[in-house]
Homo-oligomer: A and B are copies of this chain.
């Protein structure tokens, strides 16, 4: 187990253009800034190379996908190595013709690929038509050993599932990253916007509490409108919660921000001693978790 404190950098970012190369360059600049500030593990928002394309069903959009390793990892690896900084990057993965995933890659501090995680829970709801683009992941839930910490990476919709958080924690993760693209529909923001944001925060802070580890949610900001839609206002509010669920840092709902937070494994140790939830799990009685519904 790693006992040394480690410093996270959450890059709350705006995708200002439809040009993936320009977004990638912008991300690299933000990562350089993070590296200069001493960040040891940096995380970008979900699918940071492009505007959130799942607002429409368009077969041409599959052209955005890339292999892993591929152009993005080649651009990011030198930055990781230069700053001795782990980078968590969410990419549109082309695995084979007609087989695509929403995949997070973890580049270790030496510039090598530590591992990938393919998003397991895929949403499909108005303007979030992800089941069209992404095959559900087959990596399972995993903790990834990096130079600076043992990290879990889950992606966006995964954040609503206590199962994903628990299974990743049980692999030894010290922090869960959630690269995210979540926002408000303009027509329902007034009525439901505040409750939606609060539910999103509450669900993830609860993962920190239930598992006694750090949680880092990294969302995009900006209004993005696909033709024929009302668009989505991505709500930012990236945050880090400690193993007790306490707020350590929080972004606003519209600004590009770097959230830099140092995490202490000792806090996790102490929290789990006070409230030793892992001790009392009834593993003899959880087989129903693999059932859809009913007895």
Residues of A within 8 A of B (CB): 120-123, 125, 136, 140-141, 157, 160-164, 166-167, 170-172, 195, 198-199, 202-203, 205-207, 209-210, 244-246, 274-278, 280-295
Q: For A275, what are the chain B residues with a Cβ–Cβ distance below 8 Å?
A: 125, 160, 199
| Interchain CB contact under 8 A, B162 and A276 | no
Nearest Cβ on chain B to A71's Cβ, whole angstroms: 30
Nearest-neighbor residue (CB-CB) of A288 within chain B: B167
| Interchain CB contact under 8 A, A203 and B195 | no
Nearest Cβ on chain B to A87's Cβ, whole angstroms: 25
Nearest Cβ on chain B to A161's Cβ, whole angstroms: 7
**Docked complex Cα distance between A245 and B157 (Å):** 17
Nearest Cβ on chain B to A255's Cβ, whole angstroms: 26
| Interchain CB contact under 8 A, A289 and B206 | no
List the 5 closest A-B pairs by CB distance, nearest first.
A206-B206, A162-B162, A289-B289, A286-B289, A199-B245
A170 and B291 in contact (CB under 8 A), knowing A121-B280, A195-B246?
A: yes
| Interchain CB contact under 8 A, A293 and B278 | yes
| Interchain CB contact under 8 A, A290 and B280 | no
| Interchain CB contact under 8 A, A293 and B199 | no
| Interchain CB contact under 8 A, B282 and A120 | yes
User: Can you list 24 residue pairs at the A/B interface with Cβ under 8 Å?
Assistant: A121-B280, A121-B281, A125-B276, A141-B288, A160-B210, A161-B210, A162-B162, A162-B166, A162-B210, A163-B286, A170-B291, A172-B293, A172-B294, A195-B244, A195-B245, A198-B246, A199-B245, A202-B202, A202-B205, A206-B207, A281-B292, A283-B289, A289-B289, A289-B290
Q: For A202, what are the chain B residues with a Cβ–Cβ distance below 8 Å?
A: 202, 205-206, 209, 245
Interface centre among A125, A164, A199, by most B CB within 10 Å?
Answer: A199
Nearest Cβ on chain B to A249's Cβ, whole angstroms: 16
**Docked complex Cα distance between A205 and B204 (Å):** 11
**Docked complex Cα distance between A199 and B199 (Å):** 14
**Docked complex Cα distance between A246 and B192 (Å):** 11
A170 and B286 in contact (CB under 8 A), knowing A160-B210, A202-B245?
A: no
Nearest Cβ on chain B to A107's Cβ, whole angstroms: 23
**Docked complex Cα distance between A277 and B170 (Å):** 22
